[in-house]
């Protein structure tokens, strides 16, 4: 009989904030009639690719914010059973990602939660899944943990990366004239305490990441696989081709 402490339970976020409220301006003319999260890659809507990954990782609830053509997203998700879908309705006013989180906090629970972009998807390497991200979470050292991918091998990345990463996984923002080896892959774990007392209704999320970096509490976990950013119409064919190559 062991007298040691009980093993620590693996961390798994209870909920994810799935950003689906954007205008999708770079995806025009496609998004003149459908919202960007419903654009299909490899025969499946972008938002379903993300929700499938959450479901595989055992995330129970996805809070999906909607604004532009939001009724189409609501109808599309109505038949989905897992994860449990909660709609955060921003059709009256677009709140940006930071404001969207503050609006949805009551549905996201009291613990750390995921933030997810719907225009980011990936083809996993081996048995990689989001549980690898969860395993890296250390609330004693981290306020935010971002999934990152190698800038050089990512598909659809038309900017010089986002972050530098040290040997411990700590992230630093790319300098103005620098090329960074890592790009934010559109998924992260974040503490709700970072939004405590927030009075702004509309604000961006990225400055919250950068403030955590300045405190030395922004970390990254590297994706094992191919990351795809589907931000413009020409990226759809490129992403489709990558999925075809992955099954050959």
192-207 pLDDT, tens digit each: 999 998 999 999 999 9
Average pLDDT over residues 176-201: 92
Q: How many domains does the chain have?
A: 1
Q: Residue 101's pLDDT is what?
A: 97
What are the distances in angstroms from CA 209 to CA 11, 16, 128, 190, 194?
A: 21, 17, 25, 9, 10
Q: Residue 86's pLDDT is what?
A: 96
Q: How confident is the model at residue 164 (pLDDT cuts 50, 70, 90)?
A: very high
The answer to whether residue 200 sits within a structural domain is no
The answer to whether residue 197 sits within a structural domain is no
Average pLDDT over residues 148-177: 89
The answer to whether residue 7 sits within a structural domain is no
Residue 119 CA to residue 124 CA, distance in Å, equals 16
Taken as a whole, the chain contains a residue count of 248
Q: CATH number for the domain including 136?
A: 3.90.550.10
Q: Measured in whole angstroms, how far is the alpha carbon of residue 243 from the centre of its chain?
A: 20
105-114 pLDDT, tens digit each: 999 999 999 9
pLDDT at 136 over 80: yes
Mention every residue, 6+ apart, whose C-beta is less than 8 A from residue 181: 150, 151, 152, 161, 164, 165
Mention every residue, 6+ apart, whose C-beta is less than 8 A from residue 214: none
The answer to whether residue 8 sits within a structural domain is no
Number of helical H runs and strand E runs in the chain: 6, 13
Residue 98 CA to residue 204 CA, distance in Å, equals 5
What pairing do the DSSP bridges indicate for beta strands 171-173 and 225-229?
unpaired
The answer to whether residue 104 sits within a structural domain is yes
pLDDT at 35 over 80: yes
Q: What residue numbers bound the domain in which 234 lies?
A: 15-192+206-247
Q: How confident is the model at residue 8 (pLDDT cuts 50, 70, 90)?
A: low
């Amino acid at each position: 009989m062991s007298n040691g402490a009980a093993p620590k339970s693996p961390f798994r976020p209870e909920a994810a904030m799935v950003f689906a409220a954007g205008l999708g301006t770079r995806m025009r003319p496609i998004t003149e009639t459908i919202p960007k999260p419903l654009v299909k890659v490899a025969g499946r809507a972008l938002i379903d690719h993300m929700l499938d990954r959450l479901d595989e990782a055992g995330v129970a609830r996805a809070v999906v914010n909607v604004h532009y053509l939001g009724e189409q997203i609501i109808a599309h998700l109505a038949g989905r059973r897992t994860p449990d879908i909660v709609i955060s309705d921003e059709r009256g006013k677009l709140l940006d990602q930071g404001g969207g989180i503050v609006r949805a906090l009551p549905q996201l629970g009291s613990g750390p939660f995921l933030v997810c972009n719907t225009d980011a998807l990936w083809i996993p390497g081996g048995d990689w899944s989001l549980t690898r991200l969860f395993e890296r979470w250390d609330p004693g050292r981290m306020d935010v943990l971002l999934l990152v991918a190698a800038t050089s091998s990512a598909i659809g990345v038309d900017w010089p990366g986002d972050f530098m990463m040290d040997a411990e996984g700590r992230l630093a923002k790319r300098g103005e004239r620098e090329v960074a080896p890592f790009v934010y892959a559109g998924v992260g774990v974040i503490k709700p305490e970072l939004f405590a007392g927030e009075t702004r209704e509309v604000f961006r999320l990225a400055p919250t990441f950068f403030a955590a970096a300045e405190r030395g509490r922004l970390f990254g976990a590297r994706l094992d696989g191919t990351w795809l950013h589907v931000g413009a119409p020409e990226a759809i064919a490129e992403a489709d081709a990558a999925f075809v190559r992955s099954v050959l």
